Amino acid sequence: MSTSPTLAPMNTQLGTRRTTHQPRRLLPARPSRALDTDLVWALGIYIAVITGIWIIHGGLSQFGDGTIGIATGVTQLTGLYASAAGLLGLFFAARPRILERHCGLDRLFNWHRVLGETMAVLVGVHVAAGIMAWQVDGQWGAVLADVTGRVPYFAGATVGAVLIGVVTVTSLKSIRNRLAYEAWYFLHLTAYLGFALSFGHTITSGTDFSDDAIARWIWIGLHVTVAATLVWSRWGHTMVAALRPLRVAEIQRVSHDVCTVRLAGGRLQQMRGSAGQFCFLRPLTAAGWWRCNPFSLSASPTTEGLRFSIKDRGDASNYITSLKVGTKIAVEGPYGVCTSDVALDRKVMFVVGGIGIAPARALLEDLPASAAPVVLYRARSRKDLIHYDELVELAARTNGRVLTLVGPSASLAVKDPFSASSLRRAIPDVAERVAILCGPERLLQAARHGLKRAGVHTSDIHYEHAWW
Ligand SMILES: Cc1cc2nc3c(=O)[nH]c(=O)nc-3n(C[C@H](O)[C@H](O)[C@H](O)COP(=O)(O)OP(=O)(O)OC[C@H]3O[C@@H](n4cnc5c(N)ncnc54)[C@H](O)[C@@H]3O)c2cc1C
């Protein structure tokens, strides 16, 4: 790795507007008061209550009643757990602020995905065991009539199970990668409908809720809580962002495939946010309102504007960078926990690749001089080094430096630039530093592996997980 002092200056003073007043930094994102132990307790109580409801209503004793009893017990338990997993998954997707500030949106989305997959498997077992318990002497016609409407609320449950199945299959990586993000997303929303349609049969079938008012109210209360969180925390924030939009103040091309976009507006006076975070941007235009994509702040957020560095990757990013000045944009967020708080007054290093430079560039503005940051910047070619001059200037202000690693992987002098030995050679005190990683998943994996082997503790390695 080498510093690249000879690189041509690219883009200094980007996105800054000449004004007579000094812009004020936004107040930092509020820290969460939740602790890991709180979350473990809440989860433990949730599982205990659901399981307890099943046991109290004779769930366990059914296992002594032969094949039909076992099938009935499995049907009830998997049905309860499927709904419980779905409810929790929806709660995470609602992005409750207290959890987002504690765990980060990426982790909430990944847990949402895992819970969705778990729910789909449980629904599959629930349906299979239910059919087994139900069909007596092979009366398949009667079973079909029951689940398609003869038994109250079962038609909804059947449609719900089919929708959840379709969403699960289209979420498999091999299928999802062939769909546009938006097509997958809108299809994915039908799982909410599927979940709602199946609610009625959870109350009326079996003995868990139909005969026990307390259990029934607990169950209804859980659903109402999740629905209220979705309405307020998810759709409410979307509405506020749409009703109080920011406007495009400036767009500048800074490289062959990256533009900076600065958004400004009165709402910034009340917003909170920190370098290292990202926002969802939704252009409020006839052709753009249905697109909502995440982009990281590439400068510290101030009352004068939020700056993003957006790479031309596809329809949504091209669309945003071609908007006219003055266009309204709904801004949701900022989200993310990888802020300067993770540095804890220690020395810092960044491993950055591609457009991952955006949050790193913003974070450099917020670090104290004691951070002495070292930025390892990986790019395919020199023309892909974005914000290079700004990085060098900001790193120098905090006693830091920028090391670049440029070229296709096959042409690099070292086989693995993120191996422990390469990292130690480039940064002799690597093991004492807090590491912040921003970039594509392959780079994160390689860097994580090398850093751990170089002696950096896992809790000192920070990054956002890819959720798509
Ligand atoms: C936390 C986070 C921060 C990001 N910060 C930046 C940034 O600062 N600058 C930048 O240029 N890019 C950033 N990205 C990537 C950016 O969101 C995608 O490149 C953009 O959404 C691509 O959309 P598209 O329609 O232009 O391209 P498409 O061709 O539609 O998508 C290209 C790829 O982008 C991803 N993607 C598309 N839509 C979404 C979405 N709504 N949510 C999540 N991923 C999606 C998918 O992996 C997809 O395969 C960030 C992504 C995340 C998750």
Query: Is the confidence at residue 4, as pLDDT, over 50?
Result: no
Count of C-beta atoms within a 10 Å radius of residue 61: 11
Across the range 81-107, mean pLDDT stands at 93
pLDDT at 21: 62
Query: Is the confidence at residue 364, as pLDDT, over 90?
Result: yes
User: Which residue is associated with the tokens 């390689």?
Assistant: 446
Nearest Cα to Cα of residue 62 among 198, 208, 199 = 208
Count of C-beta atoms within a 10 Å radius of residue 175: 11
Tokens of 296: 């990281």
Query: Is the confidence at residue 234, as pLDDT, over 60?
Result: yes
Question: Which atom of ligand 1 is least distant from the CA of 180?
Answer: 30
Main-chain phi, psi angles of 133, to 5 degrees: -70, -30
- Residue 2 falls within a domain, yes or no? no
C-alpha of residue 217 to centroid of ligand 1, in Å: 42
| 173 Rama sector, left if φ>0, alpha if ψ -120 to 50, beta otherwise | alpha
pLDDT at 91: 95
Query: Is the confidence at residue 5, as pLDDT, over 50?
Result: no
Closest protein CA for atom 27 of ligand 1: 314
Is residue 69 domain-shared with residue 128, that is, in the same domain?
Answer: yes
Is residue 349 domain-shared with residue 435, that is, in the same domain?
Answer: yes
End-to-end Cα spacing for the chain: 31
Structural contact between residues 329 and 282, judged by C-beta atoms closer than 8 angstroms: yes
356 C-beta closer than 6 A to ligand 1: no
Beta-strand relationship, 374-379 and 278-283: unpaired
Q: What is the pLDDT of residues 394-445, one digit of tens each?
A: 999 988 999 998 887 766 666 788 999 999 999 999 999 999 999 998 899 9
User: Which residue is associated with the tokens 């790795």?
Assistant: 1
Is residue 324 domain-shared with residue 347, that is, in the same domain?
Answer: no
Structural contact between residues 383 and 254, judged by C-beta atoms closer than 8 angstroms: no
Can you give the pTM of this predicted structure? 0.87
Quote the CA–CA distance of 447 and 378 in Å, as a whole number.
11
Across the range 329-347, mean pLDDT stands at 92
Query: Is the confidence at residue 17, as pLDDT, over 50?
Result: no
315 C-beta closer than 6 A to ligand 1: yes
- Residue 169 falls within a domain, yes or no? yes
Is residue 48 domain-shared with residue 90, that is, in the same domain?
Answer: yes
Main-chain phi, psi angles of 429, to 5 degrees: -95, 30
Residue count of the chain, please give it.
468
pLDDT at 467: 65
Which of 240, 266, 282 corresponds to the end of one domain?
A: 240
Query: Is the confidence at residue 83, as pLDDT, over 70?
Result: yes
| 254 Rama sector, left if φ>0, alpha if ψ -120 to 50, beta otherwise | alpha
- Residue 228 falls within a domain, yes or no? yes
Query: Number of structural domains, the chain?
Result: 3
Nearest Cα to Cα of residue 386 among 298, 446, 315, 301 = 298
Structural contact between residues 260 and 322, judged by C-beta atoms closer than 8 angstroms: no
Is residue 221 domain-shared with residue 82, that is, in the same domain?
Answer: yes
Is residue 236 domain-shared with residue 280, that is, in the same domain?
Answer: no
Structural contact between residues 306 and 263, judged by C-beta atoms closer than 8 angstroms: yes
Count of C-beta atoms within a 10 Å radius of residue 151: 15
Rg, C-alpha atoms of the chain: 26
C-alpha of residue 282 to centroid of ligand 1, in Å: 13
Closest protein CA for atom 23 of ligand 1: 316
Is residue 236 domain-shared with residue 303, that is, in the same domain?
Answer: no
Nearest Cα to Cα of residue 82 among 39, 50, 108 = 50
- Residue 178 falls within a domain, yes or no? yes
Could you tell me what percent of the chain has a pLDDT over 70?
A: 93
Which of 335, 364, 389 corresponds to the end of one domain?
A: 335
Across the range 324-343, mean pLDDT stands at 94
314 C-beta closer than 6 A to ligand 1: yes
C-alpha of residue 39 to centroid of ligand 1, in Å: 30
255 C-beta closer than 6 A to ligand 1: no
CA dihedral 427, 4, 11, 378 (to 10 degrees): -50
- Residue 170 falls within a domain, yes or no? yes
Q: What is the chain's mean pLDDT, rounded? A: 88
- Residue 75 falls within a domain, yes or no? yes
438 C-beta closer than 6 A to ligand 1: no
Count of C-beta atoms within a 10 Å radius of residue 39: 14
pLDDT at 404: 92
Judged by DSSP in three states, 288 sits in coil
- Which residue type occupies 396? A
CATH code, domain with 372: 3.40.50.80
Residue 191's pLDDT band (boundaries 50, 70, 90)? Answer: confident
Query: Is the confidence at residue 13, as pLDDT, over 80?
Result: no
Q: What is the pLDDT of residues 48-68, one digit of tens each?
A: 999 999 999 888 888 887 888
Across the range 327-340, mean pLDDT stands at 94
296 C-beta closer than 6 A to ligand 1: yes
Is residue 322 domain-shared with residue 449, that is, in the same domain?
Answer: no
Which of 284, 315, 335 corresponds to the end of one domain?
A: 335
Q: Which residue has the higher pLDDT, 251 or 6?
A: 251
CATH code, domain with 255: 2.40.30.10
Q: Which run of H or of E encompasses 454?
A: none
Is residue 222 domain-shared with residue 367, that is, in the same domain?
Answer: no
- Residue 116 falls within a domain, yes or no? yes
Residue 272's pLDDT band (boundaries 50, 70, 90)? Answer: very high
- Residue 4 falls within a domain, yes or no? no
Q: What is the pLDDT of residues 115-169, one digit of tens each?
A: 999 999 999 999 999 888 877 667 778 888 888 878 888 899 999 999 988 988 8
Is residue 229 domain-shared with residue 106, that is, in the same domain?
Answer: yes
Distance of CA 462 to the CA centre of its chain: 15
Q: What are the helix (H) ranges across 380-434?
A: 388-397, 420-426
Domain with 80 in it: 36-240
Is residue 443 domain-shared with residue 331, that is, in the same domain?
Answer: no
Is residue 81 domain-shared with residue 148, that is, in the same domain?
Answer: yes
Nearest Cα to Cα of residue 229 among 108, 50, 329 = 108
Judged by DSSP in three states, 172 sits in coil
Judged by DSSP in three states, 264 sits in strand
